[in-house]
Amino acid sequence: MPVRLKPLARQVVLITGASSGIGLATARMAASRGAAVMLVARDEPSLSEAAQAIRDLGGRAAFHVADVADIAALQAAAVRAEHEFGALDSWVNDAGTSVVGTLEETPIDDQRRLFDTNYWGTVNGSLVAAKRLRQRGGAIVNVGSVLSDRALIYQGTYSATKHAVKAFTDTLRMELEAEGAPISVTLIKPSSIDTPFQEHARLTWELPGVRVPPPVYDPQLVARAICFACANPRRDLVVGGGGAVIALAGALFPRLTDFAMEAVGKPGQAASPEGLPERRDNLRRGRPGGDARSSLGRAARRTSLLLEAQLHPLATLATLAGAGAMAIGMLAARRR
């Protein structure tokens, strides 16, 4: 059975991790394009404010407080979305956080909790979504990372959770395809994105703050990729060429990439200033959100040629072919 996806403007989209960062940017963008959105996260004040801001702009939005590690809470969120707007059409698993420091310095309980959110939260949401979308069709969109392909020093547990998210997403896609379910399953792999994620991280090292390594991209780019995947079947989408280059380097030259990370890993991730103190450490409970971008004041790239090439492959090929033909013509003219 072929995948069945509605245009985004006719969809009901549930988004976890929607109180800040990529999730909030996605909720705003999807609502601005006509979708009804159900925002899910742990911090009720941030969710309430975000949903009301969308409604004030004429959008359709509701929220449900839930910890994604609790599958019953996500089932309740799905019921709430169906009650508010009708049947679900797309489910976006975006909720995530991080612990920064060496693996030996990171308590095992913290590592387990990080898996509860990043990995089991994705598993829980995907299974709840698959059950509801199996008959009518729809999209499951999981937010992994370029670190799904290449581990980052001092974020080993986070990298491990994103490796696990990739393996789960790829397997779920195959199983749903094998049974003929009309569900699209997409893995989004962002590079470094300027969100409060870096302020929300728990720190187990001596540095006062953390930042994602450069180059840094605007969360609107990831939101665009997610909204596209809700309405267009794609296996995966990578956002940001900077992270893709690191992943490719890790695949082609793994030891050289190791050495490079060992040399620049700590200074490349150390932040000064460290961000808003009230946002620090959301590993075990929600922290104030409300913003798609961080408070670190970093310049973020607003374009990604790599993403454009994935969203519009035929146009990209035509452009490259045209550029190639022009170059050949110019070379021939010079020779004449």
- Residues belonging to the active site: 158
Using alpha carbons, list the distances in angstroms from residue 101 to 73, 114, 155, 271, 308.
Answer: 30, 13, 6, 13, 34
Which residue is listed with tokens 């994604």?
68
Which two three-digit tokens encode residue 294?
Answer: 């961080």
Read off the amino acid at residue 220: Q
First to last CA, the chain: 57
What span, in angstroms and rounded, lies between the C-alpha atoms of 72 and 91? 16
Closest CA to 168 of 113, 228, 115: 115
CA–CA gap between residue 165 and residue 162 (Å, rounded) = 5
Question: Would you say 85 and 15 are in contact if contact means Cβ atoms under 8 Å apart?
Answer: no
H/E segment holding residue 198:
helix 197-200
Total Cβ atoms within 10 A of residue 294? 26
